[in-house]
Chains A and B, each alone.
Chain A
Amino acid sequence: MKISQKFKDLHKLGKKAFLAYVPFGFPTLDDSAKIILALQDCGVDIVELGVPFSDPLADGPIIQAAANKALAQGANTDKLFTMLNSLKGKLKIPLVIMTYYNPVLKYGMDKFFLKMKKAQVSGVMIVDLPVEESKAYIKKANRFNLETIFFVTPTTSFTRAKKIADHSKGFIYYISVTGITGPQKLDGDWLAASVKRIRKVTQLPICVGFGIHKKSQVKEISEFSDGVIIGSEIVKFIDENSCRKDLVKRLSKHIRSLCIK
């Protein structure tokens, strides 16, 4: 399913999107498919699947540790696509790959995108690939009909936000803080004003991520944005419950407690 279609559907229902980030291969390689399907079952609208990288510059300790654990257990790009292929027919919501540039570059962008397409992945976002370095990337993503999501942050100028929006498809990822991933106190009024400013340069949905870790934040940010992204909070919960047999069940319960639907 295309991300843009998902937002259209949500819009018709008057609903906001809830996006969940989980790293591939965490807590174990076998858990990923189960976790993704569980996210779908408890009302997540879009899954953001992290492809672990050894040196994640924009990630805080929680996601760093998860990536290291996944890599230590042998998570790699081939296994990622095997897992994604196993979801075909079962996953009805859009799935977006989130990673850093080097794993894509090394695998070969064409090969990476082709496999994404075959696995019915909807879109891709690369944390350390600014629009200025993205010419070939966007061209290739378009060829494979993949939606390219870019980031806007509190340090992004207005003119630059427009440039980024012009290169984006699916939605704009607004990073709520000047900083890395992980729980934060967020200033709702300031965020609302920021999102409003970005609306002036784009018709695309704007989703807010980084720092969001509790229901009250989800509620507040959903008021003025088109969707909310939760990552570290989910990863932390998975980590704390990774030894439990009913991990997936507990996770579903936890996600439902964060969701406002």
Chain B
Amino acid sequence: MSNKKIPDSRGYFGEFGGKYVPETLWACLLELEGVYKEVSRQASFKKELKFYLSEYAGRPTPLYFAKNLSKHLGAKIYLKREDLLHTGAHKINNSLGQILLAKHMGKRRIIAETGAGQHGVSVATVSRLFGLNCEIYMGAEDVLRQKANVLRMRVLGAKVIPVCNGSKTLKDACSEAIRDWVTNVGDTYYLLGSTVGPHPYPYMVRDFQSVIGSEAKKQILKKEKKLPNYLVACVGGGSNSMGLFHPFFKEKSVKFIGVEAAGSGLNSFNSASLTKGEIGVLQGAKSFVLQDKFGQIKEAHSVAPGLDYPGVGPEHAFYKVTKRAEYVTVDDRQAIKGFKMLSQQEGIIPALEPSHAIYYLKELAKAAKNKIIIVCLSGRGDKDLDIVNQYIK
């Protein structure tokens, strides 16, 4: 399932990653790492996870040939339809994997952070499924921007705790979840939703999300009898993109393109940590971070709450410096155009996060005529109608 050398035993992807945490958390990270390594190899665990992924979440998801969009842009575009999963986004892949671990570890209480609310909804969902208590930290601004998801979490019996610190978005929700974990580490499992945070999270979340790329690989080989030329996905913390990319890591002919959020512009508020950030340590890992010259973390911004984060997973940082992947940016206005383009061409309303990747296809197709492109449609856009509506006004 996982790549042998990356990360290394200390949780490093090249020079990125590690475990930069307060001492209180050391023991439980070690425990989690041990349990994950042991349990994830067991046939019974794999079988159980596979069962829930297919019977409950709806895997495998289609790799859909977007005929109209392909014609419109002049490339062969396939959409990996993670938006069709239960709860409406790829987040459930990881949440199911981790909740089975939590259950195995005998934890009774689940906490999580959420930005767009998609991860929060998936955690609330799996917590309900397995009868565990669930509390979700969400930035106060996101609580306002993603009302529908807040309601969904509450219907599912989760307690949604608005976080009023800092920028009141994903980063602050994550810090608050970590503080809760530091305090309640005995009975609480922190179900982190992206390929960020201290080891083993970045690699564990990557493994659970790798089902996206593994399926896509089989599907494209069946449909096209060859590998794709490009993989395209949006990058916030980086879980849907890493899930798609990782299984193709050794296929050197396949180019990876990660699309970051340029927000209001690269010289204004944005979330483009790989493009505009510098090496730093945030929330447990060394990676690229948006920061000032004194190492204070800058406020991120994106129209897509799920990308609104000033850091990025360490494996993406590794891909960037080793040039395994290319990272580009798409701003708020372009993302809205991507949102409309897919809705109008294919009758599929994407979430604002993958709308960044969709918009980039327009640029990519110019240089990649008739090439095969797989784009990860990481979530559906119902949650974003309010935001888009405001933009149209």
Q: A interface vs B, CB < 8 Å? A: 53-55, 57-60, 64, 68, 71, 76-78, 100-107, 127-130, 132-133, 150-157, 160, 164, 175, 178-180
CA distance A60 to B283 in the complex (A): 16
Please tell me if B20 contacts chain A, counting CB pairs below 8 Å: yes
Identify the closest chain A residue to B174 (Cβ). A55
Determine how close the nearest CB of chain A comes to the CB of B386; give it in whole angstroms.
Answer: 29
Determine how close the nearest CB of chain A comes to the CB of B43; give it in whole angstroms.
Answer: 31
Identify the closest chain B residue to A112 (Cβ). B295
Q: What residues on B are CB-neighbors of A154 within 8 Å?
A: 24
CA distance A133 to B183 in the complex (A): 23
Known contacts A102-B280, A155-B185; A107/B294 CB under 8 A: yes
Please tell me if B293 contacts chain A, counting CB pairs below 8 Å: yes
Determine how close the nearest CB of chain A comes to the CB of B343; give it in whole angstroms.
Answer: 37
By the criterion CB–CB under 8 Å, are A155 and B178 in contact? Answer: no
Known contacts A55-B171, A104-B295, A180-B183; A151/B289 CB under 8 A: no
Q: What residues on A are CB-neighbors of B25 within 8 Å?
A: 155
By the criterion CB–CB under 8 Å, are A55 and B166 in contact? Answer: yes
Q: B interface vs A, CB < 8 Å? A: 10, 18-28, 165-166, 171-172, 175, 178-179, 182-186, 278-284, 289, 291, 293-297
List 19 A-B residue pairs with CB atoms under 8 Å apart, sorted by A's residue number: A55-B171, A57-B179, A58-B22, A60-B179, A64-B165, A68-B165, A78-B294, A102-B289, A102-B296, A106-B278, A106-B294, A128-B21, A130-B21, A151-B23, A156-B26, A156-B27, A160-B26, A160-B27, A180-B183
Q: What residues on B are CB-neighbors of A160 within 8 Å?
A: 26-27
By the criterion CB–CB under 8 Å, are A179 and B295 in contact? Answer: no
CA distance A130 to B21 in the complex (A): 7
By the criterion CB–CB under 8 Å, are B185 and A128 in contact? Answer: no
Pick the contact of B182 from A68, A71, A101, A180 — CB < 8 Å? Answer: A180
Q: What residues on B are CB-neighbors of A128 within 8 Å?
A: 20-22, 281, 284
Identify the closest chain A residue to B172 (Cβ). A55
Q: What residues on B are CB-neighbors of A57 within 8 Å?
A: 21-22, 175, 178-179, 182, 283
Determine how close the nearest CB of chain B comes to the CB of A129; give it in whole angstroms.
Answer: 6
Determine how close the nearest CB of chain A comes to the CB of B389; give it in whole angstroms.
Answer: 33
CA distance A148 to B201 in the complex (A): 28
Known contacts A57-B178, A128-B284, A132-B10; A178/B24 CB under 8 A: yes
Q: What residues on B are CB-neighbors of A104 within 8 Å?
A: 295
Q: What residues on B are CB-neighbors of A76 within 8 Å?
A: 294, 296
Q: What residues on B are CB-neighbors of A71 within 8 Å?
A: 296
CA distance A104 to B296 in the complex (A): 10
Determine how close the nearest CB of chain B comes to the CB of A72; give it in whole angstroms.
Answer: 11
CA distance A156 to B21 in the complex (A): 13
Determine how close the nearest CB of chain A comes to the CB of B276; give it in whole angstroms.
Answer: 15
By the criterion CB–CB under 8 Å, are B22 and A151 in contact? Answer: yes
- Sample of 13 further A-B pairs with CB below 8 A, known A106-B280, A106-B294: A55-B171, A57-B178, A71-B296, A76-B294, A78-B294, A102-B295, A103-B296, A105-B281, A130-B20, A133-B18, A153-B23, A157-B27, A178-B182
Pick the contact of B23 from A54, A59, A102, A152 — CB < 8 Å? Answer: A152
CA distance A154 to B185 in the complex (A): 11
Determine how close the nearest CB of chain B comes to the CB of A97; give it in whole angstroms.
Answer: 14
Q: What residues on A are CB-neighbors of B18 within 8 Å?
A: 133
By the criterion CB–CB under 8 Å, are B185 and A178 in contact? Answer: yes
